[in-house]
Amino acid sequence: MNTGKKFDPTADRIEFNGVQYILRIEPYQVGNAIALCLHDETTGMREIVATVNMPHVPLGPNQVLIKDYGENTGMLAALEKAGVVARTGRTVKAGFVSVEVCELLPIVGLPLEEKTKK
């Protein structure tokens, strides 16, 4: 669970598997879901998408589906540690795996609605 630590919007950095990334909050092109994307610090290129897009799954306006399997194993813990998301206790089936429905937490210094606008 969220320990109360706030994500630093001036740095917009998150550590995953020992590597620092720039975190970007972007809309998916299909549906209304929010994508959490990790970009390389040097090149700015997108390296990892931390979420999955399932347009048929009803989500709240600040909810995301976290991909915490395969190459993304440990992503949920990294996002929780950074104060970016909190678990809702709900999961949904995505093929052979279940994904966590999480609440996207407000980021200090920038209202959540500004980060999630399309």
Give residue for tokens 């200090």: 108
Q: Please state the φ and ψ torsions of residue 91, each to the nearest 5 degrees.
A: -130, 160
Model confidence pLDDT, tens digit, residues 34-73: 999 999 888 888 999 999 999 999 999 899 999 999 999 9
28-37, 80-89, 109-118: which has the minimum mean pLDDT?
Answer: 109-118
Q: What is the pTM of this model?
A: 0.81
pLDDT at 11: 47
Domains of the chain by residue range:
13-116
CB 103 within 8 A of CB 51: no
Model confidence pLDDT, tens digit, residues 73-93: 999 999 999 889 999 999 999
Closest C-alpha to 57, from 105, 98, 87: 98
Structure-block tokens of residue 36: 């959490």
Question: Is 31 or 36 the better-scoring residue by pLDDT?
Answer: 36
Closest C-alpha to 94, from 54, 55, 64, 61: 54
Query: Can you tell me the distance from the alpha carbon of 41 to that of 39, in angstroms, rounded to the nearest whole number?
Result: 6
**Over 20-64, what HEC string results?**
EEEEEEEECCCCCCEEEEEEECCCCCEEEECECCCCCCCCCCCEE
Closest C-alpha to 41, from 23, 55, 56: 23
